[in-house]
Amino acid sequence: MTAAGRGRTVSDLMTDDFDTAYAEPEGSGSPPGPPGPDRTGRLLVLLDAAGIPRAMTGPGGRGPVVVVPARLDIARLLTSVGFLEALDGMAGLAAVRAGAVVGVVPVDALREEAVRFLETAGTQLGMDSDPLGLPTDFPDPVRITCTVCGEDNEFEYYVRAQAYTCRHGPHRLVPPSRRGGA
């Protein structure tokens, strides 16, 4: 491996030192999940009734969660502008395998990996080349079912706070826990 990040996957960075909890549905009168920071330092993945990660709480408080396949190549994340923008205010990633959360990657570990990646990439990041050696076998996508049309939408990674258009029709993707709009 000649560059940090090349060939490394999310599972290489993830930890199993986290907890999960089911969040109260929106509009239930109860706040969705713990209101403040987790004082133990452990990340807490908040799940909806279907077991889909919806938020993450850590030492800095509650924030959005980015859900990615555990097999996803870290270089693919670190070269995505959308992902880098999502880092701000995020406690970490939720890594999934076969639809279940199998680990988390704290945001500090992601930032350290980004620094290592950029330090070793140097001038290779030109527009006319593919210096990252991205894999040709893509990891399993994250699948989100649209409640408007009932069709599955596949994502390399999914940012809950971002709005998406359903890939099966000209309408907004409404995930299962967002029924009724918003």
Asked if residue 168 has pLDDT above 80, the reply is yes
Q: In 29-173, where do the E strands start and end? A: 43-47, 53-58, 61-63, 66-69, 92-97, 100-106, 142-145, 152-155, 158-159
Cβ neighbours of 128 (radius 10 Å) = 4
Mean pLDDT of the chain: 76
- Which of the two residues, 37 and 67, has the higher pLDDT score? 67
Average pLDDT (58-83) is 83
Asked if residue 78 has pLDDT above 80, the reply is yes
Asked if residue 122 has pLDDT above 60, the reply is no
Which residues have CB under 8 Å from 44's CB, separation 6+?
A: 18, 19, 20, 21, 33, 34, 38, 56, 57, 58
The pTM score is 0.59
Average pLDDT (72-97) is 82
